[in-house]
Structure 1
Amino acid sequence: MTIPSMLRLICLAAIWGGSFLFMRISANALGPAYLMEARVFFAAVSLLLVALYMKKKVNFSAHKQHFFIIGFFNTALPFLLFAYAAQTLPASILSILNSTAAIWGAAIAIVCSRSVPTLKIVMGLICGVIGVFILVGFDQSHLAQGSGVAMLAGVMAACCYGIASNYAKNAPKISSFDNAHGSMWAACLIILPLLPFMPIRVMPDLQISISVILLGVVCTGLAYLLYFRLIEDVGPPSALSVTFLIPLFGILWGYLFLNESVGWNTAFGALFVIGGTMLVTGFSVNKILNSNRKEQHEH
């Protein structure tokens, strides 16, 4: 992996880790629906501006069903669930729960294909489950505030990403940019009917307004562009390593900006979740290095 690609990887992890910080700041005031509608709208507009600049045209009507499926499972529903969870849970735990998406993806793939999982995948699934139980079962202060449902919402949000990843394997072959752009507008339409049922609780102040704009433009629009550029540069296996860095930044931002405590359960839970994800996805540093050497040799 080249230095520019490594910098993009670190920036992407920092940005996506920051999304949980911004959700934590804004969720209680705006509520899940208005917060996520603003997020996907700002992301869609920012991607539209990029598309206009690059003279890219998205044929939304030709792939309408596909964009709505991706928009629902990969954006609207998980975003809403994480926004709900962010009303109660700290940013650090939200980012760790998000990392179970790869584990969910593997579990769903095994069920759908009716295949027998390898020992490594089974161990990874068990590690992931243990990690979530450590987060839930050893933090009585959060449980006392009724965060059990919020934890479930965070886990189900990650499950949505697993469903979306399995759908994408057999989905129509559309460019990554068009998928991101089209699914954001679809998510806007999906969330829109929920707004009357989940009204804004407090009018946003400057801090909340800035958080929402950054959440949409930077943590969603720009993050997608960085991620897709990373896939083009180093391939999906190397790009996947961002999954393991996001919790580190989620914990760091929560500690620095929200004064969130980092207990032993958070640290151990993160280790089990990240370790389980590495086992399930077959992530290997040696594999990444060998892949990069092969690409450099071919060029």
Structure 2
Amino acid sequence: MPAFVALSALWGSSFALIKIGVDAGVSPMWVALWRCLFGAVTLLVVCAVQRLPLPRDKATWGHALVVAALLNAAPFALFAYGEQYVDSVLAGIFNATTPLLTLVFVLLMVNDERLTGRRVAGLGLGFLGVLVVLGVWNGLVGGTLVGGLACLAATACYGAGFAYTRRFFSQRPGSVTALSAVQIGCATLELGVVTAAAGLAPTWPGWYAAIALLVLGALGTGLAYILNLRIIRDAGPTVASTVTYVVPLWSTLIGAVLLSEPLSWNTFVGAAMVIAGILVSRTRSGRREKVDAAAGSR
């Protein structure tokens, strides 16, 4: 639970930090690249201090390249692109659709995950809460539609990434920190290649945005992905992905306080529905999943 709450707060603040970078004129690809670079450096420093060796087998690095593309490179760039058109509050709420998409991929890829009635009911209630927060009765048009679709594409990447991580990567030999360092390092490499191929040069956004990107990378990516992989190992990808139900609460609060983004009645009603969805989705199988995952990590 402490790791779950800390991870939700870190990722909840990420959307405001992304918005600061984008509004300062940093291109979406560079927002994603700086984020991964600072995160990778942080993780490598932690590995050096704790004297944790990085995995050397080719299979781990091969899976890391896939996980990095699904959980980092692609969604980080897509969210930054989307936040050119929508505010951080809305982006954080779109992120809450991740558990729905994760379930689809989990059922296809992970043998020990089962779809239960309570889980479906909880995810359904949470998704309805997201729709209420969005105010779908007002419609989504123009830039909001473009930004929203980009954010939804990012969450689809997360859904596939959570499932792939559980089946092929989270149980690989090595510490959580070392595996996270490899993952974010691979994402940095992938984004660097794409950014260079696109001919996008970095620009100085000012100290305020630079600090925001540094915090986004060091904490929102470096520390956060240690917590993320640990939760996936201990509780499974579906439980880990439900952290995105809590993220909108943080992103809404931080967006309103830090960026003065507007709030409405449906934001609070929808948030209450999201919390209710989290409570309903808790199933008895969660205890068995935790035991199985712990046994597999030994």
Q: TM-score range by the shorter chain?
A: 0.7 to 0.9
How has the CA–CA distance of structure 1 residues 136 and 157 changed in structure 2, closer, same or farther, with 3 Å as cutoff?
Answer: farther
Assess if the C-alpha contact under 8 Å between 2:86 and 2:148 holds in 1: yes
Query: For 1:93 and 1:164, how far apart are their aligned partners in 2?
Result: 22
Query: For 1:25 and 1:123, how far apart are their aligned partners in 2?
Result: 36
Assess if the C-alpha contact under 8 Å between 2:109 and 2:163 holds in 1: no
Assess if the C-alpha contact under 8 Å between 1:58 and 1:178 holds in 2: yes
1:211 Cα deviation from its structure 2 partner: 0.5
How has the CA–CA distance of structure 1 residues 260 and 60 changed in structure 2, closer, same or farther, with 3 Å as cutoff?
Answer: farther
Total equivalences in the alignment: 277
2:50 is aligned, of 37, 44, 54, to 54
SS at 1:99 equivalent = helix
Assess if the C-alpha contact under 8 Å between 1:68 and 1:183 holds in 2: yes
1:6-25 aligned at under 5 Å gives the runs 6=2, 9-25=4-20
1:130 is aligned, of 119, 128, 131, to 128
Query: For 2:90 and 2:199, how far apart are their aligned partners in 1?
Result: 24
Structure 2 counterpart of 1:89, one-letter code: V
TM-score, normalised relative to structure 2: 0.79
Moved more, 112-121 or 34-43: 112-121
Query: For 1:118 and 1:219, how far apart are their aligned partners in 2?
Result: 32
Structure 2 counterpart of 1:248, one-letter code: L
Structure 2 counterpart of 1:86, one-letter code: E
Assess if the C-alpha contact under 8 Å between 1:99 and 1:274 holds in 2: no
**1:90 aligned residue:** 87
How has the CA–CA distance of structure 1 residues 42 and 202 changed in structure 2, closer, same or farther, with 3 Å as cutoff?
Answer: closer
How has the CA–CA distance of structure 1 residues 242 and 22 changed in structure 2, closer, same or farther, with 3 Å as cutoff?
Answer: same
Assess if the C-alpha contact under 8 Å between 2:126 and 2:273 holds in 1: yes
Query: For 1:10 and 1:112, how far apart are their aligned partners in 2?
Result: 27
1:41 is aligned, of 37, 44, 48, to 37
Q: Once superposed, which parts of structure 1, at least 4 consecutive aligned residues long, lie more than 6 Å away?
A: 113-116, 229-232, 237-241
Q: Does 1:27 align with 2:22?
A: yes
TM-score, normalised relative to structure 1: 0.79
1:159 is aligned, of 153, 156, 162, to 156
Alignment deviations for residues 85-133 of structure 1 (CA, whole Å, 9 cap, x no partner): 1212222222222222222111333456899954434434543543444
Question: What 5-or-longer segments of structure 2 have no aligned partner?
Answer: 291-298
Assess if the C-alpha contact under 8 Å between 2:126 and 2:245 holds in 1: no
**1:217 aligned residue:** 218
**2:294 aligned residue:** none
**1:258 aligned residue:** 259
Assess if the C-alpha contact under 8 Å between 1:12 and 1:226 holds in 2: yes
Sequence identity of aligned pairs in percent? Answer: 28
Moved more, 264-273 or 79-88: 264-273
2:78 is aligned, of 81, 86, 103, to 81
C-alpha RMSD over aligned residues: 3.3
Alignment deviations for residues 164-212 of structure 1 (CA, whole Å, 9 cap, x no partner): 1211232152242233111111111111133253736963111110011
How has the CA–CA distance of structure 1 residues 227 and 72 changed in structure 2, closer, same or farther, with 3 Å as cutoff?
Answer: closer
Structure 1 counterpart of 2:219, one-letter code: V
**1:180 aligned residue:** 180
SS at 2:168 equivalent = coil
Moved more, 106-115 or 168-177: 106-115
Assess if the C-alpha contact under 8 Å between 2:256 and 2:263 holds in 1: yes
Query: For 1:113 and 1:231, how far apart are their aligned partners in 2?
Result: 12
1:226 Cα deviation from its structure 2 partner: 4.3
Query: For 1:47 and 1:225, how far apart are their aligned partners in 2?
Result: 8
